Amino acid sequence: MKKAVVLRFPGTNCEFDTEYALKKQGFDVEIVWHKEETLPECDLVVVPGGFSYGDYLRSGSIARFAPIMKAVAKYANKGGYVLGICNGFQILTEAGLLPGALKRNNNLHFISKMQHIKVVNNDNKFLSKCRVGEILEVPVAHADGNYYIDDAGLEELKKNKQILVRYCDENGNPMVLNGSVEQIAGVCNKNKNVFGLMPHPERAIELILGSTDGVKMLEGLAS
């Protein structure tokens, strides 16, 4: 059985949703407190959503200094798989494990809704079960989801196929949700072992939740 670690910071509120979703994919799951300095042996680390340290200063900017993040960086640099969801995405960008930054939504409001996203690249473990161009529907819930990267960085993302998903409407047309550069909703690193996205696949794993599209996203990491 594969082992997944889910991190918990003060203010994290999606750790149990994530644990449940990963267990449905067959993972043995352990929740690890932010003050730990080492990671247990595992096949995947997930940095879940929430409001780490109350989102003081900038979202994720304090959590990136937590003791456990040194271990996560070491794990990622050795090729270990890391997934950051929402606040977890913010933490990974602040820690320099993913390119770009997350800013305040362009309308300055918290956005909480079901949202369509289009798969841009699937030559990575995370989205390997999805098709390029496939339209998925998963929830978003964020105030700081406005993804920014400069022009040179954007060209690098495109060249290396690091853009994972973009916001779109139900027909796949580009949709401005929060002001993200080119409607980017998720990216990965150059080595394609660190992934981050603002939408919540762990909240779209059963029909009672409104969608099962999150299953297809997460099962690639379980394969």
> What are 170-188's pLDDT values in tens digits?
999 999 999 999 999 999 9
Assigned token pair, 52: 């780490």
Q: State how far the alpha carbon of 218 is from the alpha carbons of 64, 111, 205, in Å.
A: 24, 23, 9
Which residues, at least 6 apart from 170, have a Cβ–Cβ distance to it below 8 Å?
Answer: 116, 135, 137
Q: How many CB atoms lie within 10 A of CB 173?
A: 11
Assign 139 a pLDDT band (cuts: 50, 70, 90). very high
Catalytic (active site) residue 200: yes
Coil, strand or helix: which one is 152? helix
- Read off the pLDDT of residues 25-42 as tens digits, 9 standing for 90 and up: 999 999 999 999 999 999
- Residue indicated by tokens 């060209």: 155
Assign 166 a pLDDT band (cuts: 50, 70, 90). very high
Among the listed residues 14, 86, 130, 168, the single catalytic one is 86
Q: Note down the domain range covering 148.
A: 3-222
Among the listed residues 15, 19, 94, 202, the single catalytic one is 202
Among the listed residues 34, 116, 142, 200, the single catalytic one is 200
| Helices 213-222/15-24 angle, 10° precision | 70
Amino acid at position 220, single letter: G
pLDDT of residue 38: 98
Q: How many CB atoms lie within 10 A of CB 11?
A: 16
Gap between the Cα atoms of 72 and 39, Å rounded: 7
Q: How many CB atoms lie within 10 A of CB 215?
A: 18
Per the CB < 8 A criterion, the answer to whether 214 and 201 are in contact is yes
Residue 153: burial class (beta carbons within 10 Å; 0-12, 13-18, 19+)? middle
pLDDT of residue 175: 97
For residues 147-153, give the mean pLDDT. Answer: 98
pLDDT of residue 56: 83
Catalytic (active site) residue 42: no
**How many domains is the chain built from?**
1
- Report the percent of the chain where pLDDT is more than 90: 97
Per the CB < 8 A criterion, the answer to whether 166 and 185 are in contact is yes
Catalytic (active site) residue 34: no
Confidence (pTM): 0.97
Q: What is the CATH number of the domain that holds 95?
A: 3.40.50.880
